[in-house]
Amino acid sequence: MRLGMVPASLHPFVTDNVEPGAHVITDAWQGYRGIERLGYTHGRSSPRPRHLPSQRP
């Protein structure tokens, strides 16, 4: 699925495409802020690795 323009909030996209009550995992972009008030649980995940391969313990 592809969005034409990126709006300031993705709330309409979420409510139109995600089952009510679902757990939504997104990046930390602010456009998802507040989707908990719409009845979703929200997890955030960064697409960047926590460590560079050379820094792994």
Ramachandran angles phi, psi of 2, nearest 5°: -135, 135
pTM (global) more than 0.75:
no
Q: Flag whether pLDDT at 49 surpasses 90.
A: no
Q: Could you tell me the pLDDT band of residue 45, with boundaries at 50, 70 and 90?
A: confident
DSSP H helical ranges for the chain: 11-17
Q: Where are the domains of the chain?
A: 13-47
Six-digit token pair at 15?
């409510």
Mean pLDDT over 9-38 rounds to 91
Q: Flag whether pLDDT at 7 surpasses 70.
A: no
